[in-house]
Chains A and B, each alone.
Chain A
Amino acid sequence: MASTLSRRQLFANAGKTAITASVASVALSEFLAACGTSSATAETGTVTFWHTYDVQGIENQTLLSKVIPAFNKKYPKITIKAQQIPYQSMLQKVTASIAGGNGPDVFRSDIIWMPQLAKIGALMKLDDVVAQRGSEFYAGPLATCAYQGHYYGLPLDTNTKVVIYNKTLFSRAGISAPPKTTDDFKAAAQKIAALGGNVFGYAEGGLDAWNILPWIWTFGGAVTDDAYKTATGYINGPQSVAAIQFLLDMLGAKQLSPSLLGGSSLGTADALGQNLAGMIIDGPWVPPELQKQYGSAQYDFAAMPAGPGGSINVVGGEDIAILANTQNKAAAMTWLTYMTSDEAQRLMGATGQVPTLKAASSDPSYPAYFSYYNSQLATSKPRPVTPNYTQIDTALTDAFTKALQKKTSVQAALDEAASAINALL
C-alpha cells in the first residue's frame, strides 16, 4: 500500500521538477521503465557494469550491439561502460574493488557469490524493488538474491543442466531411446563404452558440487537439512552414499570417463562433439558451442535420469546487483531495471541466457532446446545458500575426490565432509 502511494506522488512530481534526490529518481526510473515509456529522464552519468558474458561469443556481442543501444534509446544521457571480466577472477576483482572503492556500479554476480558479498555489506539492499517487482520473477532464482531476510539483487538469468546425448554413438550402440532412469543411464553408458577405443558412455568434467550434487539429489540425498543446520545424516546418509557409489562403479567399469577426476585438456562438450562421449550433462550454453565447433555433430536432449529422489539437477545462473559504494545510484538502478525488463530479457534470451522474468519465458527467438531446460528447472535445486558456500564447496570436492580416487571408502569420505560442513553452518 505504502509503495503505491509513494509511486503516485512521485509521478505527480515528475512533470514539475527535475528530480535530484537519488532515492526519488530511483523509484521514478523504475516506474517509467515498468511502463515502457521512452520519455527522456533527468538521469545522467556513467554506469560501470562488470559481467562475465562470454567475450568471444554471441552473449557479449548481443550486450554491446543490441542491449546497450536499446537502453540508450530510452536513456540517452546514461553511458553504460560494460567490462568483461573472466569468471575465474571476477570474485577476486570485485572484492579488491570494494576495498579500494574503484569498482563497478552494477555487477552480474554468479548466484553462489551473493550471500558472501551481502555478508560483508558490499551490495545495496533492494528490498523495496523486490517488494514491488518480486512476483514478476520465478521464485527459485529470486531466492538466490536473499540473505538473512533481505534482498540484494534481482535474478538476471537462470540455468540448469540436462542430458545431452550423442545420437551417432547411440545408434551405433543400438540404443533406441534416451535414458529415463538412472538404471537406463548406466545401461546406455555400458553399451556405448563397449564400442571400444577411447569412447566413454558418460563424461563429466570435474568433482565440484556443480558436477556431483545432481546425482546426490537424484538418488534422494542432500547436503544439509532444509534450514542449513546440519549435514549429518544428509551428505553422509545412505542415499548420498549410493549416488557416489553409482559414479564409482561406472568409473571402475570405464563407462564414465576419467575426465571426472580432472587433468584432461579435452572438455566434455568437445568429447561429445568428437564422438568420444555418449552422454554429458550440461547447461544451455553448450549447444551454441557445439553448433559452432562441431557443426556436423548429431545430438539431442533429455531430462536428468530419474532416481529414487526424482529427476533433479542443479540451479545455476546470475543475479544483477548494485554495489553499495556506487556514486551513481539512480543511473545504476535504471540500468538494473532495464536489464531485468522484458525487452532486455528477450534480447539476452536469444543468446542462450534463460530469462528469469516470467513474462519473457517464451519467445520465437529462443532456441528450441530451451524447453528441455525450462522443464528441468521446475525440479532443479539450488546449492546451499550460505555465506560459507565456497568453503562448503571445497569440503564437498575434497570428499568426492577422496571417494572417487579410492583414497577412502565412500562412507568415510562423506562422513568427513559432514563434520567439515557442520563446522561451516
Chain B
Amino acid sequence: MRVSLATNTTSPQSQQRRWWLSVRRYLPIYLLIFPGMALFLVWTMFPLIYAFVMSFFQWNPNPVATSPFSGLANYTRALHDPIFYQALRNTFLYTIITVVGQMAAGLGVAVLLNTKMVGRSVFRIFFYLPVVCSWVVVSIIFSYIFSTGGLVDYIFGTVLHLISPQQNWLGDTALALPTLMLLGIWKGIGWNMVIFLAGLQGIPTEINEAARVDGASRWQIFTRITLPLLRPTISFASVILTIGAFGTFIPMFILTKGGPLHSTETLLTYAYTNAFSSFDFGYGAALTYLFAAFIFVLALIQIRVTRARTQY
C-alpha cells in the first residue's frame, strides 16, 4: 500500500532516481548476460536477418558487386518449383517417420530398461552410444554398411537369402530415403530412451501399485496410466525431434547429396545446393525462410495439441 502511494506522488526527479536504482540493482545480471547475448546477436541474429534481406535480392556473394532487388520473386519461384515440392514432401515424410519411429523405439527401450534387470547400465550405454557419435562418422559408417554388396547385403542376401545380395540402397530412388530414415531412427533411439526413462521415473510408483492391486494387466497399466502420465514428456520430445528432423542435413549431404533424382532432397540440401553450388543465394535464403515458417506453424500446432494438463 505504501509503495503504490509513493508511486502516485513521485516527482520526475525521484522517478529518475528509482530508474537508476533498478539499473544498479540489476547491473551485475546484465553484465553476466552480455557475453552470451553478444555472441547470440552476432552469430545467430545477424545472419538470420541478413539472410532475410538476402531473400529479396538476386544476391551476389561478392560484396563489391551489386545485387538487384527482386521483391518476392524468390518466394514465388519456390511455389512454382517442382523440386521444392519434392523436397518438402521428402522432409515431411522423413520427419513423420523418424520422429514416430524414434519415439516408439526409444519408449520401448526405456520401458524395458526401467526394471531392475542385470546389466541395464551396459544396455543404456550401448543404446546411447550412437547419440554421442558425430553425424558425419555414423553417416560414413552407414555408407559402408549399406553399400552394394556391403554388410547388410551380405547378412540378409548372401546368408539369409531374404533379399538380393546386390541391393543399391543409396542409389535407388525407392530405397535411398528409407535407408536414411533408418539411420535417423537408429541414431535417435538413445536420446529418446534417456528422456523417456526420466519421464517414467517421474511417475509415482503408488499409482502403478494401486492399479496392480485393482487387477489391471501390464498392457492396461501401460496404455491407461503410463502413456497418459508421459504426456508432457511425449510433447517435449516430439517438438524437439520434429525441429531436429526438419533440419536434418548432414546424412543427406554426405550419403546422397539429395540424389538420386532428388529422392532424398530436403529443404536444407536444396537450399544449400542453390546457394553454394548454383550461387543462387537469394533463392537459397528464401527457401530457408519458407522452411522456418513451416517449422514455426508446426511447433505451434504441436504445443497446442499436447498442452492439456496432466492430472493425477
A residues at B contact (CB < 8 Å): 91-92, 95-96, 98-99, 101, 116, 119-122, 198, 258-259, 261-266, 324-325, 388, 390-391, 394, 397-398, 401-402, 405, 407
| Closest Cβ neighbor of B256 among chain A residues | A262
Q: Is the CB of A324 within 8 A of B148?
A: no
Chain A residues lying within 8 Å of B277, measured Cβ to Cβ, are 91-92, 390
Task: Decide: B143 and A265 in contact? CB cutoff 8 A.
Answer: yes
A120-B62 in contact (CB<8A) = yes
Q: Mark B245-274, 1 if CB is under 8 A from A, else 0.
A: 000000000000001111000000000010
Chain A contacts for B60, CB-based, 8 A: 120-121
Nearest CB on B from A294, distance (A): 19
Does residue B130 face the partner (Cβ distance < 8 Å to A)? no
Instruction: Assess the B169–A407 pair: CB atoms within 8 A.
Output: no
**Binary flags per residue of B56-69, CB closer than 8 Å to A gives 1, else 0:** 00001111110000
6 further interface pairs, Cβ-Cβ under 8 Å (given A120-B61, A120-B279, A397-B259):
A95-B279, A120-B62, A120-B65, A258-B171, A261-B172, A407-B261
- Known: A99-B62, A120-B62. Contact between A405 and B172, CB under 8 A? yes
Q: Specify which chain A residues have a CB less than 8 angstroms from the CB of B278 in the assembled complex.
A: 388, 390-391
In the complex, what's the smallest C-beta–C-beta distance from A405 to chain B, in angstroms? 7
Give the distance in Å from the alpha carbon of A42 to the alpha carbon of B279 in the complex: 39
The residue in chain A whose Cβ has the minimal distance to the Cβ of B254 is A88
> Chain B interface: which size bin?
20 to 34
B260 in contact with A401 (CB, 8 Å): yes
Bound-state Cα–Cα, A317 to B259, Å? 25
- Interface secondary structure of B, over-half rule: loop
Q: B170 within 8 Å of A by Cβ?
A: yes
User: Do A264 and B147 form a contact, CB below 8 Å, given A95-B279, A116-B279, A401-B260?
Assistant: yes
B144 within 8 Å of A (CB atoms): yes
Say whether B168 contacts A261, CB under 8 Å. Answer: yes
* Alpha-carbon gap, A13 to B170, bound state (A): 64
B260 surroundings in chain A (CB, below 8 A)? 261-262, 401, 405
Report chain A residues within 8 Å CB of B62: 98-99, 120-122, 324
Which one, A92, A122, A265, A402, contacts B144 given CB within 8 A? A265
Q: Is the pair A262, B259 in contact by a Cβ cutoff of 8 Å?
A: yes
* A92 vs B257: C-alpha distance when bound (angstroms): 14
CB distance from B269 to the nearest CB of A (A): 12
A95 near B276: Cβ-Cβ < 8 Å: yes
Q: 14 pairs across A/B with beta carbons < 8 Å?
A: A92-B277, A99-B63, A122-B62, A258-B148, A258-B168, A258-B171, A261-B168, A261-B171, A263-B148, A263-B171, A264-B168, A401-B261, A405-B173, A407-B173
- Complex contact B168–A263 (CB within 8 A): yes
Once the chains are docked, how many angstroms separate the CA of A261 from the CA of B166? 12
Residue of A nearest to B274 (CB): A391
CB <8 Å contact, A263 and B64:
no
* CB of B149 within 8 Å of the partner chain: yes
**Of B65, B146, B148, which is within 8 A of A121 by CB?**
B65
Compute how far the CA of A262 lies from the CA of B277 in the bound complex, rounded to whole angstroms: 20
State the CA gap A160–B219 with chains docked (Å): 67
Is the Cβ of B61 less than 8 Å from the Cβ of A263? Answer: no
Q: Please, how many angstroms separate the alpha-carbon atoms of A99 and B147 in the complex?
A: 38
Q: Is B232 an interface residue (CB 8 A)?
A: no
For A266, the chain B residues whose CB sits under 8 A away are 147, 149
In the A-B complex, the 3 residue pairs with the smallest Cβ-Cβ separation, listed nearest first, are A263-B171, A265-B147, A262-B171
* CB-nearest residue of chain A to B253: A88
User: Do the beta carbons of B261 and A398 come within 8 Å of each other?
Assistant: yes
